[in-house]
C-alpha cells in the first residue's frame, strides 16, 4: 500500500472508530467519554514530550508553557477572529493556529536554550514555561488570573483521536527517517553525532519546535474541551505531570508514553470510589507513592526503550 494512504487511513480509522463508540455510548457514560478525551490530550502531550526527552535525550520541563500558548492562541482565534465561520471549521483553524504559534514559540525558546545541557536545560525550559504563564497572567485581553471564558466547546473524541493518531504516526515515520536517526545519535552521544556530521543544534531545535507544536495542538483541544482556561492550568506542575508520564512509560518509547498517559489520567478517576469510602481524598498521596515505588522498583519505566510491537511476545526466542 502507498505509505501516504496508509498514514491517512491510520489516522482516520481510529478517529472514526472512537467517534462511533462515543456516539453509541449512552448518556450515563458521558463522564467516562470526557475522561477518555482528557486521556487522549494527555497522550498527545506525552508522545510529543517524548520526542525531546526520550528520543533526542534532552530534558525539557516547560511543556505546559507551549500547551498554554496553543490553548490561548486557539481560544483567541475562535472567539475574536473567526466568530462568523461555521463552528467546526473555525475550531479546526483555531487549533491549527494554536499549534503553529506554539511551534514558533518552541523554536524561539529552543534556539538560545538548547545550547545548554542536562540540568541547566531543564531549568531554562522550566523558566520559560513559568514566564509564558506569568505573561498570560498579565494580559488583560486574555482574562488574566480570572481565566478565559466563553470558548466554544467543539472538541469531540473524534478530533482528539485524530490529532493523537496523527502525532503518533508522524513520530513513527520520523523515527524511520534521517531525522529520527539524527535524534537518536544525539541522545546516544552528542559529540560523536556532531563528529559524523549531524548538525546537532539544528536537529535539537527541530525536535523542540515539533514537540512544542504538538503541545500547542493539545492545548487547543483542551481549551475547546473545557470551554474555560486559566493560567494556573498550565503551571509548573502540569509540565511535571507530562514528564512523569514520559519517564513512567519509559524514556524513548512512544507506546510507553501513550500507555502511561492514559493510565495516569485514569488512575485518579479509578481511585474516586476509594476517596468516598475513606472520607479523605488520598488519591494524590497514592499517586505520588506509586510514582516513587515505580522509580525504585523499575527505574527504566514500563516499556524501557522498547515499543509495544518490539516486545516479541509472538515471536520465537
Partner 1 sequence: MNTLLQLLLDGLSLGAIYALIALGYTLVYGILRLINFAHGDIFMVAAYAALFSALSSLAPADPGATRFAVTLLASMAAAALLGLAIERFCYRPLRGQPRINLLITAVGVSLLLENLSQVLFGANPRVFPELLQGGVAFENGQLKVGQIDVWVLLTAFGLMLALEAFVHRTRAGRAMRAVAHSHETAALVGVPVDKVIALTFAVGSALAAAAAVLYGVKYPQVSPFMGVMPGLKAFVAAVLGGIGNLRGAVLGALLLGLAESLVIGYGGATWKDALAFLILILILVLRPAGLLGKYEAEKV
Instruction: Write the CB contacts of 15 (distance below 8 Å, at least 6 apart in sequence).
Output: 158, 159, 161, 162, 165
Backbone angles phi, psi at 154, to 5 degrees: -100, -15
Measure the CA dihedral 249/204/109/214, to 10°: -50
Total residues contacting partner 1 by CB under 8 A comes to 40
Of 46, 37, 45, 42, nearest to 257 by C-alpha is 46
134 Cβ contact partners less than 8 Å away, ≥ 6 residues apart:
231
Determine which residue in the list 72, 128, 183, 208 makes contact with partner 1, applying CB under 8 A.
Answer: 128
Nearer to partner 1, 136 or 151 (CB): 136
List the one residue from 42, 113, 156, 226 that touches partner 1 (CB under 8 A). 113
Round to whole Å and give the CA distance between 92 and 78: 9
Residue 138 makes contact with partner 1 by CB under 8 A: yes
Contact mark string toward partner 1, 22..51, x via CB under 8 A: ------------------------------
Cell representation of residue 190 = 552528542
Contact call for residue 287 and partner 1 (CB under 8 A) = yes
Q: In this chain, which of 5, 197, 296, 313 binds partner 1, going by CB under 8 A?
A: 296
Query: Of the ranges 37-45, 163-171, 209-217, 236-244, which one interacts with partner 1 (CB under 8 A)?
Result: 236-244
Among 47, 124, 193, 264, which residue sits at the site for partner 1 (rule: CB under 8 A)?
Answer: 124
Query: In angstroms, rounded to a whole number, what is the distance separating the alpha carbons of residues 160 and 155?
Result: 7
Q: Which stretch binds partner 1 (CB under 8 A): 19-27, 43-51, 96-104, 241-249?
A: 241-249
Q: Name the packing angle between helices 63-76 and 87-113 (round to 10°).
A: 140
* 114 forms part of the interface with partner 1 (CB under 8 A): no
- Nearest CA to 91 among 99, 254, 25? 99
Q: Give the nearest distance from C-beta 170 to partner 1 in angstroms.
A: 25
Q: Please spell the DSSP secondary structure of 42-108, one letter per residue.
A: HHHHHHHHHIIIIIS------HHHHHHHHHHHHHHIIIII-TTS-HHHHHHHHHHHHHHHHHHHHHH
Select the residue interacting with partner 1 from 251, 262, 302, 303 (CB under 8 A).
Answer: 251
User: Which 149-208 residues touch partner 1, going by CB under 8 A?
Assistant: 191
Instruction: Report the residue number, 5 or 296, with the smaller CB distance to partner 1.
Output: 296
Closer by beta carbon to partner 1, 123 or else 266: 123
Q: Is 127 in the site for partner 1 (CB under 8 A)?
A: yes
**In the complex, what is the shortest distance from the CB of residue 190 to partner 1, in angstroms, rounded to a whole number?**
10
Residue from 98, 49, 38 nearest 220 by CA: 98
Give yes or no for residue 232 binding partner 1 (CB under 8 A). Answer: no
Looking at the DSSP bridge assignments, the partners of residue 239 are none
In the complex with partner 1, which residue's Cβ is closer, 169 or 287?
A: 287
Cα–Cα dist 192/182, whole Å? 11
Return the range that interacts with partner 1 (CB under 8 A); candidates 17-25, 159-167, 253-261, 285-293: 285-293
Check residue 145 and report its DSSP letter: G
The dihedral through the CA atoms of 180, 183, 188, 191 has a sign that is positive
Part of the chain binding partner 1 (CB under 8 A), chosen from 13-21, 72-80, 126-134, 222-230: 126-134
Q: Toward partner 1, which CB reaches closer, 150 or 188?
A: 188
Residues at the contact surface with partner 1, assessed by CB under 8 A = 59, 112-113, 115-116, 118-120, 122-124, 126-128, 130-131, 134-135, 137-138, 191, 236, 240, 243-244, 247, 251, 280-282, 284-285, 287-289, 291-292, 295-296, 299
Amino acid at each position: 500500500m502507498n505509505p501516504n494512504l496508509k498514514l491517512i487511513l491510520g489516522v482516520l480509522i481510529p478517529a472514526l472508530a472512537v467517534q462511533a463508540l462515543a456516539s453509541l455510548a449512552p448518556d450515563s457514560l458521558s463522564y467516562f467519554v470526557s475522561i477518555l478525551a482528557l486521556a487522549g490530550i494527555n497522550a498527545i502531550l506525552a508522545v510529543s514530550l517524548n520526542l525531546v526527552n526520550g528520543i533526542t535525550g534532552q530534558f525539557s520541563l516547560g511543556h505546559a508553557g507551549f500547551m498554554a500558548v496553543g490553548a490561548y492562541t486557539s481560544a483567541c482565534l475562535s472567539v475574536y477572529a473567526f466568530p462568523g465561520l461555521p463552528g467546526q471549521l473555525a475550531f479546526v483553524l483555531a487549533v491549527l493556529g494554536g499549534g503553529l504559534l506554539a511551534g514558533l514559540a518552541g523554536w524561539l525558546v529552543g534556539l538560545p536554550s538548547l545550547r545548554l545541557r542536562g540540568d541547566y536545560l531543564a531549568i531554562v525550559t522550566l523558566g520559560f514555561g513559568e514566564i509564558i504563564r506569568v505573561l498570560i497572567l498579565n494580559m488583560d485581553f486574555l482574562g488574566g488570573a480570572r481565566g478565559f471564558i466563553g470558548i466554544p466547546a467543539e472538541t469531540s473524541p473524534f478530533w482528539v483521536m485524530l490529532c493523537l493518531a496523527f502525532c503518533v504516526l508522524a513520530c513513527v515515520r520520523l523515527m524511520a527517517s534521517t531525522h529520527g536517526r539524527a535524534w537518536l545519535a544525539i541522545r546516544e552521544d552528542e559529540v560523536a553525532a556532531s563528529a559524523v556530521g549531524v548538525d546537532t543544534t539544528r536537529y535539537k531545535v527541530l525536535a523542540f519546535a515539533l514537540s512544542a507544536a504538538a503541545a500547542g495542538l493539545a492545548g487547543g483541544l483542551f481549551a475547546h474541551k473545557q470551554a474555560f482556561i486559566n493560567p494556573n492550568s498550565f503551571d509548573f506542575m502540569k509540565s511535571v505531570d507530562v514528564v512523569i508520564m514520559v519517564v513512567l512509560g519509559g524514556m524513548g518509547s512512544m507506546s510507553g508514553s501513550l500507555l502511561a498517559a492514559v493510565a495516569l489520567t485514569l488512575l485518579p478517576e479509578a481511585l474516586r470510589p476509594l476517596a468516598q469510602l475513606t472520607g479523605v481524598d488520598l488519591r494524590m498521596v497514592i499517586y505520588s507513592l506509586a510514582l516513587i515505588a515505580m522509580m525504585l522498583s523499575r527505574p527504566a519505566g514500563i516499556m524501557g526503550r522498547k515499543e509495544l510491537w518490539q516486545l516479541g511476545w509472538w515471536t520465537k526466542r
